[in-house]
Amino acid sequence: MSDAFQLEYTPLEDIDAIHATLQKSFKAGKLKSIAARKIQILQLAYLIQDNYDAFKVAFTKDLGRPTLETAFMELDSTIGDCKIAYDRVEKWARTEKAPFSLNFAATNPVIRKEPKGVVLSISPFNYPVWLSLGPMIGALAAGNCFVLKPSELSPAVSGLIAELVPKYLDSDVVRIVLGGVAEATKLLELPWGHIHYTGSGRVARIVCAAAAKTLSPVSTELGGKSPVIIDPKCDLQTAANRIMWGKCANAGQTCVSPDYILVQKDAQDAIVQALKEAHDRFYPSGPSVPNAFGRIVNHTHFRRLKGLLDRTAGEMAFGGQTDESEKYIAPTIVKGVKGDDSLMSEELFGPILPIIPVKDVDEAIAFINARDHPLALYVFSQDAAFKAKVFDNTQSGSAIANDTMVHCAVDGLPLGGIGPSGSGYQTRKYSFDLFTHLRSSLDSPSWVDWLFGSRFPPYTAKKEAKLKSLLGVKLPPRPHEVTNGATKSLVLSDGGCSGKRIVILFVALGIAAALAQVGVVGSLWKLIVTL
């Protein structure tokens, strides 16, 4: 497995030259044309397609990943994202007109979609293709040059990417820097058009602090503890299948994997039973057999997870088997877990799922709100009011009902955290937008000074009045106070556009149309003209 595979790191002294080469290419406008961008995006898709089996092998080496998971969750989805970008980049990159405004229409205000420069992306080990090449697609589509520092913890996949990229992509516009902390630190000393970081909150703080020194803009895709709230009246079998899949795919090493379950105390055993049945359906020969279930990425993470499990005060419901030589931890459910348990002390990022019994949905919501905003929040319920109550009273990167993790694959949905779970949005069009500078532009003809010449000194009261008449804003009526028993609150006035007035307007138009039909308006008009 990964321990046997040694990556050859990029020499530190090469990093300045890599940065300089890409800066030069960017300034030379290498990816200015959409056609040039599309060539790189298509080449990236072929890089994966032509080396599909080599990637599968590399994933098995690094993560013991079942090949179906590699194909479905990384390779096919990344090829699909290339195709979407290839098909839509013209539309995404089109200059946009600003909304019409009478005052400024003559200046033709537009938003030019321009690349930010050379983008640096530092990626994690857990989805080493999707999270490395996904940002690359967005950055190239937007016309940026791109430096990727993939994870040293997934050396087989990172090594394969580093070997293939120069064969398929233009080395003047895309470079791979292999390495760990030292190489990442060196990269972060340089100024970038944008730094995109995917990984843990701990390292994100280091990345953001380094970026502040060069004023490089940063986006962060982080993780955290994504909760699941279960309404005991939900479709339990479906819920159990989807929660177990979210927990077991990639052995739980997924940023949006369910981290813990909150459920009413008296429903806990029914949930455990449903999860056990899902587990037995998924792994009829047990999860440890080859190509059934992934492995923990390295011994450090294995020991971290084992330590958390050894220290839990919860009750082992099922699972719990471990094998350090294989870096194997069985899918494990721990019930009766409390908020201060070892399993609640950090993002688990492994196949362990604690269940926290609560009194009701209000206690579940309070539990979530007392912690960092999670990257994903899951609710299993058939009751619209139950789901709305949870979503309306919490904050999270995404809010998903009756499924887990699939939202990352849905075209048109952004993937992004809030607060400690990250900032900025990823996937497809959102990745393009992330790496795009919205450059405001207008072209003001000379005659516009006939309208706005009053802005020039010498300033006079007459000019001030003229500008006010052009640009002055009429606010809606002030909110007024209403008293309801002892409570006072502010409410909006109808602002002259009440429903009643709209009805009157429609009635008036209706009467006018009817009169027009019988020729009365025409006769009146003729009479006015004659007079």
In DSSP notation, 163-204 reads: HHHHHHS-TTTEEE---SHHHHHHHHTS--SEEEEES-HHHH
Binding to ligand NAD (CB under 6 A) within 227-256 occurs at 255
Q: How far is the CB of 60 from ligand NAD (least distance, A)?
A: 18
Residue 180 binds ligand NAD, judged by CB under 6 A: yes
Residue among 149, 175, 295, 387 that touches ligand NAD (CB under 6 A):
149
Residue 151 binds ligand NAD, judged by CB under 6 A: yes
4: closest CA among 327, 231, 337, 416? 327
Q: How far is the CB of 257 from ligand NAD (least distance, A)?
A: 8
Residue 431 binds ligand NAD, judged by CB under 6 A: no
Residue nearest to ligand NAD (CB): 223
How far is Cα 15 from Cα 9, in angstroms, rounded to an integer?
Answer: 11
Residue among 131, 145, 156, 164 that touches ligand NAD (CB under 6 A):
131
Residue 28 identity (one-letter amino acid): A
Q: Is 221 an active-site residue?
A: yes
| DSSP β-ladder status, 436-441 and 226-230 | unpaired
Cβ atoms 413, 397 nearer than 8 A:
no
Q: How far is CA 367 from the centre of its chain?
A: 24
Nearer to ligand NAD, 31 or 377 (CB): 377
Nearer to ligand NAD, 187 or 361 (CB): 187
In DSSP notation, 226-280 reads: EEEEE-TTS-HHHHHHHHHHHHHGGGG--TTSEEEEEEEGGGHHHHHHHHHHHHH
- Part of the chain binding ligand NAD (CB under 6 A), chosen from 59-67, 80-88, 98-106, 219-227: 219-227
How far is Cα 497 from Cα 481, in angstroms, rounded to an integer?
Answer: 19
Q: Is 145 an active-site residue?
A: no
How far is Cα 474 from Cα 341, in angstroms, rounded to an integer?
Answer: 57
Binding to ligand NAD (CB under 6 A) within 370-409 occurs at 375
Binding to ligand NAD (CB under 6 A) within 478-507 occurs at none
Q: How far is the CB of 23 from ligand NAD (least distance, A)?
A: 21
Binding-site size, ligand NAD (CB under 6 A) = 30
Residue 124 binds ligand NAD, judged by CB under 6 A: yes
* 438 φ/ψ angles, rounded to the nearest 5 degrees: -90, 100
Residue among 85, 122, 129, 434 that touches ligand NAD (CB under 6 A):
122
Which residues partner with 219 through β-bridges? 196
Per the residue annotation, which of 234, 255, 347, 408 is the catalytic one? Answer: 255
Per the residue annotation, which of 69, 183, 221, 347 is the catalytic one? Answer: 221
Residue among 2, 77, 78, 126 that touches ligand NAD (CB under 6 A):
126
Residue 493: count of CB within 10 angstroms of its CB: 11
> Which sign does the torsion angle of CA 453, 458, 462, 465 carry?
positive
Q: How far is the CB of 453 from ligand NAD (least distance, A)?
A: 52
Q: How far is the CB of 15 from ligand NAD (least distance, A)?
A: 13
Nearer to ligand NAD, 89 or 255 (CB): 255
376: closest CA among 256, 246, 247, 248? 256
Residue among 157, 222, 308, 376 that touches ligand NAD (CB under 6 A):
222
User: CA dist 111 to 26, 243, 277, Å?
Assistant: 21, 43, 55
Binding to ligand NAD (CB under 6 A) within 194-213 occurs at 198-200, 203, 206-207
Q: How far is the CB of 426 from ligand NAD (least distance, A)?
A: 6
How far is Cα 429 from Cα 434, in angstroms, rounded to an integer?
Answer: 9
Q: Residues interacting with ligand NAD, by CB under 6 A?
A: 122-127, 131, 149, 151-153, 180-181, 184-185, 198-200, 203, 206-207, 221-223, 255, 347, 349, 375, 417, 422
Q: Which residues are catalytic?
A: 221, 255
